[in-house]
């Protein structure tokens, strides 16, 4: 099954990727929504790939330390050598990396803070399920006076999601599992609400963003915190609803 979340606006020819951090060992990029990270069967219709664009931008060989869905934006780590990629991979596998995502979801999740502990399959829905856990906290809510279906008003929430495991589309599947799907999610969300955001809020992307990443530098062991700013589409939704982001924790 291919990933059809091609929700990005077209990038100008030769546009540079926004680099959040760079040294001789690694690079942190703010991945745009809708840009495929690398070639795969899941993104068969993609024409641009982040890893190729970055290699051309910075020169030399680069290696992915982890991945983000095509429709998701935010912090992506890239290593400058196989050894660094392996060292970062060990931190991800050992669950020593703290990931924080921002998401706009349908409805108001209750309770406001919870752990979703629900096993998930891999990229194949028929594959074996593995343990998957996501903590979330409701940051803010809004009720908009737009009729949809049998409801005269619609409720949405800004959520901070912290996945403790790294399963395929984990946050998207977990939020859909508790009936609060991510807005703009074409596979696991609600088409009627996705269309509402396009029509009324001019938002054509999935509202899931890898916001902050905490890890140890693979060479020095120093603690690292990388934060990726939101793009104009996501920021526009926050401004429209009067939402603000939490301070660093």
Q: Residues with catalytic annotation?
A: 69
Q: Is 205 within 8 Å of 52 (Cβ atoms)?
A: no
d(CA 74, CA 35): 11
d(CA 102, CA 74): 10
d(CA 104, CA 159): 6
Residue from 66, 83, 91 nearest 210 by CA: 66
Q: Is 213 within 8 Å of 97 (Cβ atoms)?
A: yes
d(CA 69, CA 168): 9
Q: Is 181 within 8 Å of 105 (Cβ atoms)?
A: yes
CA 43 from chain center: how many Å?
Answer: 16
Residue 187, classed as helix, strand or coil, is coil
Residue from 245, 202, 215, 192 nearest 91 by CA: 215
């Amino acid at each position: 099954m291919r990933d059809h979340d091609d929700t990005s606006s077209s990038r100008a020819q030769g546009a540079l990727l926004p680099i959040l951090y760079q040294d001789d060992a690694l690079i942190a990029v703010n991945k745009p929504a809708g840009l495929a990270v690398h070639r795969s069967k899941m993104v068969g219709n993609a024409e641009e790939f982040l890893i190729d664009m970055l290699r051309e931008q910075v020169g030399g060989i680069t290696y992915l330390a982890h991945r983000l869905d095509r429709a998701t934006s935010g912090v992506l780590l890239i290593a400058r050598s196989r050894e660094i990629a392996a060292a970062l991979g060990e931190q991800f596998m050992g669950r020593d990396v703290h990931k924080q995502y921002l998401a706009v979801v349908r409805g108001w999740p209750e309770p406001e803070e919870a752990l979703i502990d629900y096993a998930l399959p891999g990229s194949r829905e028929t594959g074996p399920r593995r343990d998957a856990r996501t903590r979330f906290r409701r940051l803010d809510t809004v009720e908009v006076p737009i009729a949809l279906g049998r409801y005269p008003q619609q409720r949405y929430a800004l959520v901070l999601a912290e996945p403790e495991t790294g399963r395929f589309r984990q946050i998207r599947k977990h939020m859909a599992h508790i009936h609060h799907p991510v807005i703009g999610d074409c596979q696991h969300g609600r088409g009627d609400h996705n269309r509402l955001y396009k029509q009324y809020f001019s938002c054509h992307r999935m509202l899931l963003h890898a916001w902050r990443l905490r890890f140890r530098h693979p060479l020095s062991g120093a603690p690292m915190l990388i934060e990726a700013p939101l793009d104009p589409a996501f920021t526009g939704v926050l401004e429209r609803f009067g939402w603000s982001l939490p301070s660093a924790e």
